[in-house]
């Protein structure tokens, strides 16, 4: 499994885009991810998933 799944259905943001924003743009919060990718900015249903990705990537 590539791990590249859609995290934010509203804005069609993939996990890889969120990881890239964390690694390349230094995003450390859900709000920063939203600003960088649009994820989590419409319905908010993916905010917990975004936080899990942040926690996982920052703690690597």
Mind listing the pLDDT tens digit for each residue in 26-59? 999 999 999 999 999 999 999 999 999 999 999 8
pLDDT the model gives residue 60: 84
Does some domain include residue 42?
yes
CB-hemisphere CA count at 13 Å for 51? 5
Dist CA 15 CA 53 (whole Å): 8
Does some domain include residue 44?
yes
Does some domain include residue 46?
yes
> Cβ distance 31 to 57 under 8 Å?
no
Residue 5 in this model has a pLDDT that exceeds 50: yes
Does some domain include residue 45?
yes
| CATH number, domain with residue 52 | 1.10.10.1100
Residue 1 in this model has a pLDDT that exceeds 50: no
Mean pLDDT for 13-26 is 98
Mean pLDDT for 5-11 is 98
Does some domain include residue 1?
no
- Number of neighbouring beta carbons within 10 Å of residue 31: 13
Domain count, the chain: 1
Dist CA 55 CA 60 (whole Å): 9
Does some domain include residue 39?
yes
Dist CA 48 CA 14 (whole Å): 15
Structural domain span for residue 31 = 6-58
């Amino acid at each position: 499994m590539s791990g590249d799944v859609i995290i934010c259905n509203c804005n069609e943001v993939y996990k890889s885009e969120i990881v890239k924003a964390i690694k390349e743009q230094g995003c450390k919060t859900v709000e920063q991810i939203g600003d960088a990718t649009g994820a989590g900015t419409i319905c908010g249903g993916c905010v917990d998933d975004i936080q899990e990705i942040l926690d996982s990537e920052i703690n690597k």
